[in-house]
A and B are shown apart, each in its own frame.
Chain A
Amino acid sequence: MALDDTKKTREFKVVGTRPDRPDGIDKVTGRARFGADMVAPGMLTGRILRSPHAHARIVRIDTSKAEALSGVKAVVTRADFGEVPEDVADVLDNCMAGDKALYDGHAVAAVAASSPAVARKALKLIEVEYEVLPHVTDVDAAIKPDAPVLHEGRQQETVPEGLSQNVIARSEFGHGDIEAGLKQADRVVGRTYRTAATHQGYIEPHACLATMGSDGRADLWVCTQGHYMVRNTCAAILGMEQGQLRVTASEIGGGFGGKTVVFLEPVALMLAKKAGRPVKMVMSRSEVLRATGPTSSTSIDVKIGMTKDGRITAGFAELRYQGGAYPGSPVDMGAMSGFAPYDLENVKTVGWDVVANRPKAAAYRAPGAPMAAFAIESAIDEAAKGFGLDPLEVRLMNGADEGTKASYGPTYPAIGLKATLEAAKSHPHWSAPLGENQGRGVACGFWFNFGGDTCVSLNITPDGTVTVSEGNPDIGGSRASMTMMAAEELGIPYDQVRTIIADTGSLGQNEVTDGSRVTFAVGLATIKAAEAAKTEMCRRAAMVWGIDEEAVEWEDGAARPAGPNAGKFPPMTLKEIAAIASNTGGPIAGHHEVNAEGAGVSFATHMVDVELDRDTGSTKILRYTVFQDAGKAVHPSYVEGQFQGGAVQGIGWALNEEYIYGDDGILQNAGFLDYRIPVASDLPMIDTVILEIPNPGHPYGVRGVGETSIVPPLAAIANAVSEAAGVRMTQLPMSPPRVLAGLQGKASA
């Protein structure tokens, strides 16, 4: 889209208001249909058999006893899948193990049976002979030359010779001269930071219902962030044409990046194909934690050089991320984003992508960035406080602005980092007094955001109401946002528009709901679709009035004659034009298809107060404020919700959440009783301040807001806890035992 499409000065009538959410009643009354709510006549229950070993060669699988059990209609192993294209080979291997089981919980077989009880019994009858292999789950252990190797020959050309085969890729970013910069510093802070793997923690487990006819045509109902991705991936794995597989997205009970890949879906389709009956699969919570995407655990070395007046002279970070059993950790994103909030002459980051015997890491909100921000923002905080400097002032002094050359390469256009810092500085939270054993922390965060393939169809019904069809599951309020943008553009009330999520047969290709892209990209397409419909409605009015269509304009929900020679005609409203559509050429619609490039980056600053119990090491979040640039907040309540949700997930990541593996490589806490996510009673109300620095790449100035809010919390909370404890916390989660150890040792913990 051209830059001049941006309407920089616009008075909004609908955008920026807070109408009721369109899915609210359905969700509070139970009418909304989530993945596990789908049913079909003759439906079977599908179940997965999972590896009890962290690393094992699969010597033999005997399914004959299971197949002989009454009620079992199909059994699937990897042998049922043929050769698949290279780009989905790891995806299939993760859904159904081939030669080796690569982590505790890795799928090795599946059954479809007439009831859950029969399915469970059948799983017990499948005999799997394993040759148990040495395993490695820790990122630093996995890179050692003598570490057990998961894959041979997967290293990229970027990796120097002599490193473990578990080191898959190396990347490096930055500019300037780090050594020269460090020499200019009055103080250098250098530490190693570690973060644990955490799960996205969505409330709804993965679920799907698959059918496949004898003609090879299939339907899939699924809980996902991207049903077009599900269609394309499953079609490739099953050797189908994409047009023969129709996928419908259910309501989604959270995803946060974790539902941007497939786990059950190809298996369900294969079971349905073999059984000739619909197959429904629903994961248990334990399966979700053992076998779906947590984020990486990391180990990060940071060096910050700073002058005594607070100028950062050099920033260096070496980041090691294990991404689970397959290549592709988000270390690149961490290495590119960690120093992005700052204007630095000398900056360098090195990222290492490492595999280990854990479930393959999936995206988790700003994938890779929160861990890098934790390490770098902690080091900046320590350097600033070491000189007795105000950490907000130091960030303002070094903060990136329009024209800054970003640490990852490009020169920034107009950005909002300093606006968030100024807002934080002037907020009452910053000057509020702290009590005994309390600490306050601040940190900044950055995320790229992106756009991608997007389709929207907007239809005018005969009575003049409007339906918008989009292809992205509504994970954060997009139905409300699209409804508002359509209403804004058409000049009609919000309640005259309904937005639905169409199936894969109804629209062209749509990118997954990720990258904070939907309000930006689908919003852009919705506005363009509405513009197309307006143009057509002006043309119809011109026909009725007998004037040139160029002499008609759209204003306040109606076509109006415009210009000196247009003549005098009363405005024709959208409803009036819709009512005579059959008489003027037929139904009226607008649609728009685009690869929406040009998303704007976004920044946030978080501020948090914590209180420490010195006897137990436990911490309590007392106050939390988020300051973030939204470009333009279409529905401010949803934007605030995104800010609050990111902060809360960050609180869990910082204080409690952790994948705990035993020496045997088995996950020890695969349930919400032992994997501790924050609940409402753990939290204060999260305060929010929305900044609006328009994105020039969007007609209304919208930037994505869904991911940036999880980038700063880890560091902000670590800085607060470190201040309260009087000891620098360098490892997450800062659980009570770890904080207590820090207090007792009075050294970094």
Chain B
Amino acid sequence: MVEVLLWGSLADQAEGARKVEVEAATLRELLDGLGEKFPGLRPELERGVSVSIDGRVYNDSWFQPIAEDSEVVLLKRLKGG
């Protein structure tokens, strides 16, 4: 299981939990697992998110490995100029 930290307003869509656990070994499994476990998160996931894994940010790399002890933080989709 991977522990995922959700940002505050996203926690409202995950039954109020700031930290949730998902069975996932890759980024894709993580995002799929979050959507299945917490349907309220799906609109935000569909709008696009970034994910910090051990302090490094990933956007779309489905098969990025995630270790069980990794620090995983869901972030708003990063934009730049």
Q: Which A residues fall within an 8 A CB radius of B?
A: 156-158, 170-174, 200, 256-258, 260, 330, 332-333, 336, 348, 350, 362-367, 408-413, 448-450, 452, 514-517, 595, 597-599, 697, 707
B7 contacts across to A, CB distance below 8 A? 171-173, 408-409
- Tell me whether A595 and B8 are in contact (CB under 8 A): no
- Tell me whether A448 and B8 are in contact (CB under 8 A): no
Alpha-carbon separation in the docked complex, A348 to B13 (Å): 18
| Beyond known contacts A514-B81, A598-B58: 17 more, CB 8 A cutoff | A157-B40, A158-B12, A171-B8, A171-B76, A172-B9, A200-B81, A260-B81, A363-B81, A365-B81, A367-B81, A409-B52, A410-B55, A449-B80, A515-B78, A517-B80, A597-B56, A697-B56
For B35-60 the 0/1 string (1 means CB < 8 A from A) is 00000100110000010101111111
Q: Which of B51-81 contact A (CB under 8 A)?
A: 52, 54-61, 64, 71, 73-76, 78-81
CB < 8 Å neighbour of A364 from B55, B60, B76, B81: B81
- Tell me whether A450 and B80 are in contact (CB under 8 A): yes
Alpha-carbon separation in the docked complex, A536 to B64 (Å): 29
* Distance in Å: Cβ of B62 to nearest Cβ of chain A: 10
A158 contacts across to B, CB distance below 8 A? 9, 12-13, 44
21 A–B pairs (Cβ distance < 8 Å), ordered by A: A157-B13, A158-B12, A171-B9, A260-B81, A350-B8, A363-B80, A366-B80, A409-B52, A409-B75, A410-B57, A410-B71, A410-B73, A448-B80, A449-B80, A450-B50, A450-B57, A514-B79, A515-B78, A515-B81, A517-B80, A598-B57
Alpha-carbon separation in the docked complex, A170 to B40 (Å): 15
* Distance in Å: Cβ of B44 to nearest Cβ of chain A: 8
CB-nearest residue of chain B to A333? B79
- Tell me whether A170 and B80 are in contact (CB under 8 A): no
- Tell me whether A336 and B55 are in contact (CB under 8 A): no
Q: Does B31 contact A (CB under 8 A)?
A: no
- Tell me whether A257 and B61 are in contact (CB under 8 A): no
CB < 8 Å neighbour of A597 from B58, B71, B80: B58
What's the interface size class on B, roughly? Answer: 20 to 34
A330 contacts across to B, CB distance below 8 A? 79
- Tell me whether B55 and A413 are in contact (CB under 8 A): yes
B75 contacts across to A, CB distance below 8 A? 336, 408-410
CB-nearest residue of chain A to B71? A411
Alpha-carbon separation in the docked complex, A420 to B74 (Å): 28
* Distance in Å: Cβ of A157 to nearest Cβ of chain B: 6
Alpha-carbon separation in the docked complex, A449 to B8 (Å): 22
CB-nearest residue of chain A to B43? A157
Q: Does B5 contact A (CB under 8 A)?
A: yes
Alpha-carbon separation in the docked complex, A408 to B6 (Å): 10
CB-nearest residue of chain B to A330? B79
Chief secondary structure at chain A's binding surface: loop
Alpha-carbon separation in the docked complex, A1 to B56 (Å): 11
Q: Which of B8, B13, B61 has the most CB of A within 10 A?
A: B8
B71 contacts across to A, CB distance below 8 A? 410-411
- Tell me whether A450 and B56 are in contact (CB under 8 A): no
Known contacts A172-B9, A348-B8, A597-B64, A412 near B55 by CB under 8 Å: yes
* Distance in Å: Cβ of B2 to nearest Cβ of chain A: 14
B55 contacts across to A, CB distance below 8 A? 410-413
- Tell me whether B56 and A367 are in contact (CB under 8 A): no
A514 contacts across to B, CB distance below 8 A? 79-81
Alpha-carbon separation in the docked complex, A330 to B76 (Å): 11
B79 contacts across to A, CB distance below 8 A? 330, 333, 363, 367, 514-515
* Distance in Å: Cβ of B10 to nearest Cβ of chain A: 8
The 3 closest A-B pairs by CB, nearest first: A257-B81, A515-B80, A172-B8
CB-nearest residue of chain B to A258? B81
- Tell me whether A156 and B43 are in contact (CB under 8 A): yes
Alpha-carbon separation in the docked complex, A599 to B61 (Å): 14
Alpha-carbon separation in the docked complex, A673 to B75 (Å): 41
Alpha-carbon separation in the docked complex, A174 to B11 (Å): 12
Alpha-carbon separation in the docked complex, A517 to B58 (Å): 13
- Tell me whether B8 and A410 are in contact (CB under 8 A): no
Alpha-carbon separation in the docked complex, A410 to B71 (Å): 7
- Tell me whether B81 and A707 are in contact (CB under 8 A): yes
Known contacts A157-B13, A408-B7, A410-B52, A333 near B61 by CB under 8 Å: no
Q: Which of B12, B43, B73, B76 has the most CB of A within 10 A?
A: B76
Alpha-carbon separation in the docked complex, A365 to B80 (Å): 7
Alpha-carbon separation in the docked complex, A397 to B43 (Å): 40
Alpha-carbon separation in the docked complex, A333 to B12 (Å): 20
B5 contacts across to A, CB distance below 8 A? 409
CB-nearest residue of chain B to A171? B9
CB < 8 Å neighbour of B60 from A172, A256, A413, A595: A595
Known contacts A367-B79, A449-B80, A450-B80, A173 near B60 by CB under 8 Å: no
A174 contacts across to B, CB distance below 8 A? 8
Alpha-carbon separation in the docked complex, A449 to B57 (Å): 9
B57 contacts across to A, CB distance below 8 A? 410, 448, 450, 597-599
A517 contacts across to B, CB distance below 8 A? 80
Alpha-carbon separation in the docked complex, A686 to B59 (Å): 35
* Distance in Å: Cβ of B49 to nearest Cβ of chain A: 11
CB-nearest residue of chain A to B13? A157
* Distance in Å: Cβ of B11 to nearest Cβ of chain A: 8
B12 contacts across to A, CB distance below 8 A? 158
- Tell me whether B8 and A257 are in contact (CB under 8 A): no
* Distance in Å: Cβ of A402 to nearest Cβ of chain B: 9
CB < 8 Å neighbour of B78 from A348, A365, A448: A448
CB-nearest residue of chain A to B18? A175
Alpha-carbon separation in the docked complex, A349 to B13 (Å): 18
* Distance in Å: Cβ of B14 to nearest Cβ of chain A: 12
Alpha-carbon separation in the docked complex, A707 to B28 (Å): 30
Alpha-carbon separation in the docked complex, A247 to B41 (Å): 37
CB < 8 Å neighbour of B81 from A156, A366, A452, A598: A366
- Tell me whether A597 and B61 are in contact (CB under 8 A): yes
* Distance in Å: Cβ of B42 to nearest Cβ of chain A: 10
B61 contacts across to A, CB distance below 8 A? 595, 597
B59 contacts across to A, CB distance below 8 A? 450, 452, 595, 597
